[in-house]
Chains A and B, each alone.
Chain A
């Protein structure tokens, strides 16, 4: 069974469109994350949710809106896509964040290409 899954794996779209990426974890974890990895492999936290509540929003444009319908899901919706949004987006989860972000389990990534 896949621990952290993301759909779609590849997403090609035009500037100005709105798109969503879905993430699900079956590990029973309380905390979920979205990271953005740029073309140089630099990985940066975007959002962190704990028990469906937003914990971190790291200066991400408000065109990005995460939604957590339940503890097992954290979806990412992006409005008015721009060329600079092209990247690989990773979802991750961890048991809790009380003392340390601890071991995070990553999904396979979604490669978003905006043309």
Chain B
């Protein structure tokens, strides 16, 4: 079935460093792709999404591009802040289309 694989964490960066969190997917058809973020003690919230190949999703300085040729949807940010410390989940439509399948999450810690 449709699935995503994302890089293992935890990732520790200094403030203002460049962030990349890798995500690759396996899917039949053309699923939508998502990045969700979970701040400590909270539920997940949508960070950005892309619905077709070559789409770029962006929000709060984060970006990810739907790359069909490499089946990837890597998350990037040019300059991270302490407030970006959270767990980041890559996700895609399940085969049924009635739910999302999530990656295992990547924990990010940004230090001052």
Contact = CB atoms under 8 A, between A and B. Distances in A.
B96 A41 contact: no
A42 B4 CA distance: 12
Interface residues of B, number: 26
A55 interface: yes
B100 A99 contact: no
Interface string A32-47: 0100000011111100
B25 interface: no
Interface of A: 4, 31, 33, 40-45, 48, 50, 55-56, 58, 90, 92, 97, 99-109
A7 to B, nearest CB: 14
A101 B100 contact: yes
Interface of B: 31-32, 34, 38, 41-46, 49, 51, 87, 89, 93-94, 96-102, 104-105, 107
Contact of A45 (B31, B45, B94, B104): B94
Given A100-B93, A106-B44, A56 B102 contact: no
A23 to B, nearest CB: 11
Contact of A104 (B31, B46, B105): B46
16 contacts: A41-B87, A42-B105, A45-B99, A48-B99, A56-B96, A58-B99, A90-B43, A97-B97, A97-B99, A100-B93, A103-B49, A104-B44, A106-B43, A106-B44, A106-B45, A109-B43
